[in-house]
Structures are given as C-alpha cells and as structure tokens.
Amino acid sequence: MTDAPVLLSLQNITKRFGPLIANNAISLDLHRGEILALLGENGAGKTTLMNILFGHYVQDEGDVRVLADHGALATLPPGSPGAALKAGLGMVHQHFTLAENLSGLDNIRLGTEPLLSFGREATARAKVKKITAESGLDVDLDRRVADLTVGEKQRIEILKALYRDAKVLILDEPTAVLTPQEAEGLFVVLRRLAENGLGVIFISHKLGEVLAVSHRILVLRAGTKAGELVTAKADRRAIADLMVGKAVAEVVRIPALPGETLMEFDGVSLNGAGRQALSGVNLKLRSGEIVGLAGVSGNGQSGIAALISGLAVPSSGTLRLYGEAITKASPRDLVEAGVARMPEDRQHDGVVGTMSVADNIAIEEVRSPAFSKMGLLDRKAMRERATSAISGYDVRCPGPDAEARLLSGGNVQKLILARVLEREPRVILANQPTRGLDVGAQAEVHRRILAARDRGAAVLVISEDLDELFALADRFVVVHAGELADAGSSESLDRGTIGLMMAGQARTPVGIAS
C-alpha cells in the first residue's frame, strides 16, 4: 500500500486556541486505494484536524497537500472549503446534510449545478449510474430522501461526494446509525471504492469495525500523533493501549443472578411522531440484572428513557416501581424513590454549565438531609462529596468550585456517573454511558455499572454500540419503530441476530419483553 501514490499529505499541522494546543505537529499521508482509520478519544484533535483539512479552520503551522491532476502534490490554500472540494476532498458527516423533500438524484446534484438546467438531469443520471455500477452503491434515485432508510441516505451522501469527483473520502462515525448488516454493506462498498483508487479516512471509536475495514490505523492522543499500526498486525488491546497511553484493564462480566422486578412497563404507549413514540411496550427491570436496549437511533429509545426519568407520561398502559403504579410520577418523585439516570445529552440534560462541580453533584439531592439543614444548603457537605467524587471517579478539574462548563465531555460524564452511583440507587438508566470516552474511561464506567448490578440494582443500558451492550448486558431487548421485542439472554445471541431485529425482523412477537 505504501508503494501507491500519496493522495493526501498533512505536514506538521499545528493549531492553537489560546493556550490550548488542539493539534501539535501532526503529519499523515493517505495513499491511493488505502483505508486509513483515524482514532482518538474526544478532545484528541480529530475534529480540529478534519476542520483544517476542509478549510473551516486555518492552521497556525503546517501544510495540507493534495495530489493534483498534473501528478504532483499541490498545497491547498488555508481556510478555503471551496478549494478543498475542488481538489477532490469529500466528507460524509455522522449527521446527514440532505434535503428531505428532494429526490436522491436532486440531492446528489444540489450545490453542484442548477436543478432546473435543461438537459442536465439526464447527464447527471448517467454519471450517477456509472458511479453506482463501479461502487455498488445501489439506491433508488427517484424516491424522496425522507422515504429512504438511514443506510440509503448514507449512500446518497457518499454518491454526492463521488459525483464531485472526490479522490479522498472522509467518513465521520459512519456506522453510528446503522444496523450491523448495513455496516457490513458499507464496508463492502468502501473496499470496492478503495480498489478503484479512492483514498478513505475512516473516523470511528468502534475497534472491531476499524480492524475489519482499514489497512492502517493512526491514533491521536491529547492533540499529538500517538502512533500508527498496520491493521493486519494490530489487535484491540494494542489499539486501546495506544489510545490511552497505558495498558487498559479488561472488564469481565460474570453471569447475573436476577431478583425481584423493580420497574415494569405494562402495555405502555407514548403518543407522538418520531423519536419518542412507543406502542404497547412491556418490559421488566429486575434486581441484579443489566438489560441492554439495542436499536437504530430514533426508534423509541428516547421515549423509554423519558418515561423512566419522569420526563414523559404514558398515553396508555401502566408504569410500576416496586409493584406500585407511578404512571404520573415527577422526576423528583423518581429520584427520591431511588431511580437514577445518566442522560444521553450530558452537556444539556446532565449538568448546569454555569454551576460548580459541587452544585452539580448535589443538584438532585439538595432537599435531602445529606445537603440540607434547617432549610439551608450545607455547602461544606456538598464540597466534601464533590472532593470525594473528583478523586474516586478521576474527574479532571481544578476542584469542587470549578464551573461544569469548563470540563471536557468525558469529565462531565464521570461527574454524572459519580452523582448517580454514589447514592446507590435501586434502578439505573444508563443512556449512552460511554459515548465520547476513551477506552480506559469506558472500562472504568463498565466496571462501576457492573458493580451496581452486583449490589442489587436494576440497570437499563441504552447504547448504539453493540460491543458495549454485549460487554454489559445480561439480557437484550430491541426497539424498532416504537415497538419492543425480547431478544433473550446475551449468551444466546450474536451481532447478526440483533442486527436483524434492529431492522424490524423480530425474534419473538414484537411488544413483548419480560
């Protein structure tokens, strides 16, 4: 692969934001026909580097060079997205940028040529057909994008880049919203595109997928290049150690010993369109057991999370806690009853940015005797709890009085974890518990969630990462289009079975999960 011509070369890229060095003298080469995986925890510098590559940021030092038509590398002018596109750089973002009311073909043409230009549609269709024949990116070009599946929308995004004659394709977390089967289909396409000479940068945190599709792996850590690995000679442990900078302890789940039912959904429905809608959900969360909720994002996970948190009220059916109906319980009622949550959007729903770490640790218990005496806040107790949490959960911050908005995403997640687990709740909702965390922090979060299960808590883990669910869950349920299906014990399952259920092919009658 290193004998192939270099399509893209980044030389000593450095970017500073005040005293923060986001990228520190980073260099990389991407060869024709190569799939390069770019890994690193949140804050490692991946996003900054890609923004420089596409001209959204201007580097303080270094050059970006792209293979030009004359056969030599040409330096891109800094801060010019137009020049990046013209040079053949294309990017597919995790969140698609498509016009839902237009057809697939019109979306591919949009921004490149006038949609109403006479005779151009036939020419464009012929070009796209040639691309699909070479790449295997089959999709109905005449259907409205709003009517396409998530996987089909992603194919439209890739076709948009190829239609503009991209030489280099960057994919940012491309499998985050795909079923395993759709992800494998994407890998087939990427391999074919690489065989045809395209260079691909594959940004992901899923080590299994990186090992499956890439030729080479580049790891960033704290704004610097931590190292490179040839994929054929790499394994998960080597990648994880490189990302964290030290050996990562493996967390092993032992079989659960489920006890009594602590929370139950009995025929629960939630009206409305889109992400929160639910239909006739039955679910039991039992003491000493972790239930993993799998599903393509937007199929009802947020509705289940809102009901458990008291942020939504069922349209029909009954929600029970410890055998008692709590259908209209408020968030405060549930917290006081021993239900805790780690929210999906930690920055907006998890903390108050302008409040201190100590305030955020205590925010759900300010009325409890632990932090309130004669109607007044016990600031000393709040700071002592925060100091203990900072130490025990490795929350990296200046101290208990630091504002939460100054913390990185990973440290905000650790703060929330400390707030949730320190009061030993009986029911725990862990919604995307390790999103954005490095593999070392992930292992620590998993260890603590398993410890909560072992002391008798009932845990529901919602995650878009099947590797995480298989690491934690004793039992799987799958949500599709607002309906829940029981997948059974994790020991009896594989990724393929879960993937089919995520696509709507239920293993047991939909809506029944016990």
Q: Who contacts 452 (Cβ-Cβ below 8 Å, separation ≥6)?
A: 421, 424, 425, 428, 459
Shared domain check, 334 and 266 = yes
pTM over 0.95: no
Shared domain check, 506 and 435 = yes
pLDDT along the chain (514 residues), means of 10: 86 92 95 95 84 94 93 93 93 84 92 76 91 89 89 90 93 82 89 94 89 95 93 91 79 90 96 80 97 90 92 93 91 91 78 88 79 80 87 83 80 85 91 79 88 96 90 94 92 90 68 40
Shared domain check, 496 and 469 = yes
Shared domain check, 407 and 374 = yes
- In DSSP terms, 488 is beta-bridged to 476
Tokens of 366: 């300010």
Q: Are 437 and 465 in contact (CB under 8 A)?
A: no
Pick from 415, 442, 459: which residue ends a domain? Answer: 415
pLDDT, position 436: 66
Minimal CA–CA distance to 407: which of 366, 338, 346, 476?
346
Shared domain check, 454 and 508 = yes
Residue 54 lies in a domain: no
Shared domain check, 401 and 302 = no
Residue 86 lies in a domain: no
pLDDT, position 276: 75
- In DSSP terms, 261 is beta-bridged to 286
Q: Which helix H or strand E contains 50, and what residues bound it?
A: helix 46-53
Residue 4 lies in a domain: no
pLDDT, position 70: 82
Residue 17 lies in a domain: no
pLDDT, position 71: 86
Residue 365 lies in a domain: yes
Shared domain check, 259 and 383 = no
Pick from 141, 157, 173: which residue ends a domain? Answer: 157
Shared domain check, 387 and 430 = no
Tokens of 510: 């939909």
Helix, strand, or coil here: 436? Answer: coil
pLDDT, position 28: 95
Residue 236 lies in a domain: no
pLDDT, position 510: 39
Shared domain check, 389 and 431 = no
Backbone φ and ψ for 125, nearest 5 degrees, come out as -60, -40
Pick from 385, 415, 445: which residue ends a domain? Answer: 415
CATH number at residue 330: 3.40.50.300
Per the document, the length of the chain is 514
Helix, strand, or coil here: 45? Answer: coil
Query: How many domains, the chain?
Result: 3
Q: Are 255 and 474 in contact (CB under 8 A)?
A: yes
Shared domain check, 328 and 298 = yes
pLDDT, position 118: 65
Q: Are 169 and 199 in contact (CB under 8 A)?
A: yes
Shared domain check, 376 and 275 = no
> How many of the other CB atoms lie within 10 Å of CB of 388?
14
Minimal CA–CA distance to 212: which of 234, 196, 193?
234
Residue 60 lies in a domain: no
Residue 322 lies in a domain: yes
Q: Are 150 and 183 in contact (CB under 8 A)?
A: no
**In terms of C-beta density within 10 A (0-12 exposed, 13-18 middle, 19 or more buried), how is residue 255 classed?**
exposed
Shared domain check, 492 and 355 = no
Q: Provide the residue range defining the domain that includes 371.
A: 351-415
DSSP-assigned letter for residue 145: G
